[in-house]
Amino acid sequence: MGLPEELKKSAVFLCCKDIDSCRPEGTAFLLGMPTTDPNVNAFYLVTAKHVIDDIPKRGTADSFIYARINPIEGRTAIDPIKSSPDDWLTHPTDQSDIAVIPFRAPLAHDYDVVALSTSIALTHEAIEKEQIGVGDDVFTIGLFVKHTGRLRDVPIVRTGNIAMMHEDIGDMEAFLVEARSIGGLSGSPVFVRANPFLGNSLNIKPQPFFWLGIHHGAWHTSRTVDAASDEFAGMHMGIGIVIPAWKVMEVLNQPALARQREELVREHRDSNRPVPD
């Protein structure tokens, strides 16, 4: 069961800066959100908060976060976009592992990237209507640190299925998915495809993809950290943790970002006012 190519282009790599390179350490993705003007969309980079917390500690040149985004065809240089950890906004009321930052670059002219639309975000209503549940296929698109791509970022796709519907996992709401997590996937977009066998029907129908949420991490048999490798020493249990898309929407709907979208609309209307000849 293939994944639409445009979904693969939503993932970008977040890097730390070494003296002579920009080293990928985690994944983010581009998200587009409509505004009150149908001609204006707001764009955001979205990732896991712990990625933003960790990257500044890993760079040998500085403590900024760099987003590496594939350029359009014909350009080979990847121009990283620099940000500070303080530039990213988190969830206003709970400990959900989410970080977002407004993205103002001219997408169509500079980058070979596709913004996911908030219209495909999974909701409670969609879960009921499409009968999404345990066993449905999930897809995670993100960074494989052993092969990031030479001239262009090359994300990988990991597959699995929903193992448990959204519940409170520790101090955050999350889905559990049967999919092996690897270093670098934190912050990746995760998608779910509805079961083509709805109800008792034997007619297979094409089913839509939904944006399930953000890949947070995985369960291990031990939380002990191996200091030599900076990885978990325990055995991987094959269960990934996904923060629901609706938690990201709660971040995007907080007042600071709502005001930013209003400002985008004002800028667009001011720049398109008629002028006398």
Q: To 10 degrees, the CA torsion angle through 193, 204, 132, 140?
A: -20
Q: What is the mean pLDDT of the chain?
A: 83
Which pTM value belongs to this model? Answer: 0.86
Write down the pLDDT at residue 227: 38
pLDDT in tens, 134-162: 999 999 999 887 777 766 788 889 999 99
pLDDT in tens, 190-225: 999 887 665 555 555 556 789 999 999 876 555 544
Which amino acid is present at 142? G
Average pLDDT of the residues in 177-187: 80
- Residue 64 near residue 17, CB atoms below 8 Å: yes
**Could you give the domains of the chain?**
5-271 (2.40.10.120)
- Give the three-state DSSP class for 224: coil
Q: 207: which 2 tokens?
A: 């089913």
Task: Give the confidence band of 229 by pLDDT, cuts at 50, 70, 90.
Answer: very low
CA distance 139 to 169: 21
Write down the pLDDT at residue 228: 40
Which of 248, 258, 257 has the alpha carbon at shortest distance from 172?
248
CA distance 135 to 162: 5
* CA angle, 106 then 109 then 111, to 5°: 80
| DSSP states of 79-140 | -PEEE-GGG-B--SSS----EEEE--S-HHHHB---PEEGGGB--HHHHHHHT--TT-EEEE
pLDDT in tens, 95-129: 899 999 998 765 556 788 889 999 999 999 999 99
